[in-house]
Amino acid sequence: MIEDALHYPRDDDDWTRTVLIGGILSLLGALVVPTILVLGYLVRVLERTMHGDEHPPAFDEWGDMLVDGVKAFAITLAYGLVPAVLAVVVVAGSILPFTVVEGPGAAGTAAGGLGLVVLLVGGLLALVTALVAAYVVPAAIAALAETGEVTAGFSVSRLRPALLSGTYAIAWLWAFAVVVGAGLLTGALNAIPIIGFVIGGFVGFYAAVSAYYIVGRAWGDHRGLEPAEPGETPVEGSTV
C-alpha cells in the first residue's frame, strides 16, 4: 500500500507539472486561496481513487476545484473548531488562577498547582480531541468527494460505519505515517535556509496526495464503489 501510494503522484506523463503547481500552491498557503485550491485537488484525488482510478488528476477546471476546496475547507474548519476552542479555554483556564490569587504564600502556591492541573488535564483532552478530528476529517472529505455534498461530511450514518471499520482505521494509520514521515523530512530540510523551506513545500504536497490516495482506496473498498469506466468521470452519489 505504501509503495503504491508513494508512486501514485508520479503515475502520469505530466506529473512534474502537477507536483510543481501543487508545491507552489502549498508554499503560498498563507494566502488561503492556494490552500483551498490544494484541498480541491485532494478532493479530486479521493474521487478518483475511491473508484479505482490509479492516475492522479491534473490541475484544470480551476473554478470547480476552488468550489470543491471551499467545501473541504468548511468541513476541515468545522471539525477543527472544537479542539481549537478547547485549546484556548485550557490556556485561559491555566492562567486564570494566577489572576485571581496574587502574591506569595499558600494561596499563590495553590493557584499555581491548580493552573498546572488545568494545563495538564485540559492539554491532554485537547490533544485527544485534535487526534479525533484528524481521524474524522479525511473520511468526511471522502464523503464529500463521493457525493459532492458538504452535508455528507457530517452525516453520522455515512461516516460512522467507515470510522469504526478496520479498513479505514488501517488506511488512516498508513496515511498518517506518510504525513509524519514527510514532516520529519521537511523538518530536516529546514536546516538549509530558504532552499529547505521551498523543497519542504513540494514534499508536503506530494505526501498529502499519497496519503489521500490511501484514504480514497480504503473509502472505495469500504463503500463498495464501482470502478469508473476508462475515460469516464464517476457519477457523484451513485452509491449510497
Q: What is the mean pLDDT of residues 107-126?
A: 65
Higher pLDDT, 90 or 215: 215
pLDDT tens string 186-236:
989 888 888 888 999 999 999 999 999 999 999 999 998 877 655 555 544
Q: What percent of the chain has pLDDT over 90?
A: 63
In the structure, what pLDDT confidence band is assigned to residue 112 with cuts at 50, 70 and 90? low
240 against 237, higher pLDDT: 237
Q: Give mean pLDDT, residues 146-151.
A: 95
Look at residue 135 and give its three-state secondary structure.
helix
| Better-predicted residue by pLDDT, 140 or 119 | 140
Contact residues for 210 (Cβ-Cβ < 8 A; gap 6+): 5, 6, 8, 9, 175, 178
Q: Is residue 151 scored above 80 in pLDDT?
A: yes
C-alpha R_g of the chain:
21
Whether the predicted pLDDT of 110 surpasses 50: yes
- Is the pLDDT at 111 greater than 70? The verdict is no
- Say whether pLDDT at 82 is over 50: yes
Confirm if 225 and 142 have CB atoms less than 8 A apart.
Answer: no
Domain range list for the chain: 2-223
pLDDT of 123 reads: 75
Looking at residue 236, its pLDDT comes to: 44
Q: What is the pLDDT of residues 34-62, one digit of tens each?
A: 999 999 999 999 999 999 999 999 999 99
pLDDT beyond 90 at 96: no
User: How many residues in total does the chain contain?
Assistant: 240
What is the number of helices (H) and of strands (E) in the chain?
8, 0
DSSP 227: P
Q: What is the pLDDT of residue 102?
A: 52
pLDDT of residue 239: 37
Residue 237 has pLDDT above 50, yes or no: no
User: How far is the C-alpha of 1 from the C-alpha of 217, rounded, in Å?
Assistant: 10
Q: 95: which DSSP letter?
A: H
Cβ partners under 8 Å of residue 193, min gap 6: none
Mean pLDDT of all residues in the chain? 86
pTM: 0.84
